[in-house]
Structure 1
């Protein structure tokens, strides 16, 4: 069965990579300053030394594209893991309040260090994900506190608790941001919308190690996520330390989400849509769901960012808003479908 499904899996990978390649082409060649494919290739190969071309490609477009790809992959993979742990297809880092918790901690970081360090400097971009991790952990701790029933995580309460926690963190974030000076407040508001506008190579270097370190751990434990689809007692009878594995998987997922939020703000619904599409395309094995979900997340963020910066030009719409326009109806559709099944 696995061998029979391998060609399908490889086909899906090829299609995802083709869509990402098209998004890459569009993002590199289109914008306020249009460039031909030949000009882009010559600039990338350093054949064309035109300063305007070099600046547009290497300082503005390429870091934004790479950062969007990394953030999309991280959010898609994290969403697949969180849905696997909770056995809830409506679970998403944004809906559960993990994004909001990480965002609150990072806005607090901005407030505490405003005027004392450059927030796009190395010290800031390396420190912000750690603040985000703490905020994400606080959100998860609150989820466990209020969604636990009879010593186990109640998946029915999970969504309601997550929405409440997200609303609470968002309110705190808004209060904290109002304490900032006007310049920092504008930056915080733009960042909270989920924007890649300020993308640079420092942000890429900051988020990349989190992916390199945490994704292999998730892939190595993908078979555990398959077991989690059974009853917990059955999983325990197989000798699996359920709580320890949940903690490791959750911690890795929160790390990916926190790193993403620290450099791109709160981009919701990627972790909801990507795993659903991945399961429909490649089945229920998480060893395949996680990478496909990551590739779909990459495509969503890259296409969403391209739409946001071109369709509404000269104004620019944050990628988080573009994806939310798609994500909200999709979430309502999933909610209605789950209610019909009951």
Structure 2
């Protein structure tokens, strides 16, 4: 067994990623427009001594749900990216190019255009309307991709990606047209959301993400060996007894569920699903039972650290986490293209 695929290597990388997430969470809790000391944070979290209303508000209403949501979104996108790349056998495949982000974005912009300002309630229904529209848009894009990507009853990976790009372009055009018809305030909000932002995170958003993170990752990890066999080619995998079409459908459906849930609460945070799996493969080898969870942890670390950078480096203004990650992701994507050609 090679060093890169040893269990010790896997645990070292996993613990290191968790440490980075914890350090990013610590920085986000203690720094911002209202700085807090470590002692104040610990006392507030553990309810030691007399609690301060300001500290409770800052930590439990603003910072902690934002950190938790960043972890969940990054973990979901990282895992989904590793599975999609495994199913497509294409290291340049990314959840964003499948049209899910574009479908969710179009649905949310349509919601803002037709309903924004008309819902006065502050209950669950009002808070969750935008994520619900985002999820519906992501699922609509998925249905269209499956409809046009199937050929003779089989899901062709190359056709799947091409159809995703086409649908993404179409939904993007609709989004741009509707955005130009919006009033300035709604247009600004839509632009921030489409860039990928978790600035409006709250515990209700977190609670909508948790079921997806509880149910889907164990299924993906359990089927990780199937991803290893798919790397041999579909015909070879079929010869080894793998029901290829059924497994591809299950794996892609789970991945699309994670991506749709993430986009619904955070907007289009791109490149996490592209970069995290590549880093994971370099660190832990080629076995997907190691790649899938490590990709999730690396994705979580990317979003937590990226969100901290976006809200502190440019303070008092905030930069969406999607923009921060794209600054890193675009050059890395170009590097991958050059490397794949060589």
Is contact 1:85–1:225 with CA below 8 Å preserved after alignment? yes
- 1:261 is aligned to 263
Distance 1:265 1:231 in 2: 34
CA offset digits 1:11-50 (Å, max 9, x no partner): 0111111111110111111111111111100011112411
Instruction: Tell me what 1:273 maps to.
Output: 275
- Whether the 8 Å CA contact 1:129–1:258 is kept in 2: the answer is no
CA distance in 2, matches of 1:257, 1:124: 22
SS of the residue corresponding to residue 94 of structure 1 reads helix
In the alignment, structure 1 segments of 5+ residues that lack a partner are: none
Equivalent position SS for 2:6: helix
Superposed counterparts of 1:1-342, under 5 Å = 1=1, 5-47=6-48, 48-117=50-119, 121-124=123-126, 126=128, 128-129=130-131, 131-143=133-145, 153-155=156-158, 161-340=163-342
1:120 offset after TM fit, Å? 7.0
Give the number of aligned pairs: 339
Shift of residue 132, structure 1, vs aligned partner: 3.6
How far apart are the structure 2 equivalents of 1:120 and 1:99?
27
Q: Deviations over 1:223-248 (max 9, x none)?
A: 11111111111112223221121111
What's the C-alpha RMSD, in Å, of the aligned pairs? Answer: 2.4
In structure 2, relative to structure 1, the CA distance for the partners of 1:42 and 1:263 (3 Å cut) is same
CA deviation after TM superposition for structure 1 residue 174, in Å: 2.1
* TM value normalised by structure 2: 0.91
Unaligned runs of 5+ in 2: none
Per the alignment, do residues 126 and 222 of structure 1 end up closer, same or farther by CA in structure 2, a change over 3 Å counting? farther
Distance 1:169 1:63 in 2: 30
Aligned-partner Cα distance in 1 for 2:38–2:209 = 29
Q: Is the 8 A contact 1:75 1:270 kept in 2?
A: yes
**1:79–1:271 Cα contact (<8 Å) kept:** yes
CA distance in 2, matches of 1:123, 1:92: 32
Distance (whole Å) between structure 2 residues aligned to residue 124 and residue 221 of structure 1 = 37
Shift of the 255–159 alpha-carbon distance from structure 1 to 2, 3 Å rule, reads closer
Distance 1:334 1:161 in 2: 22
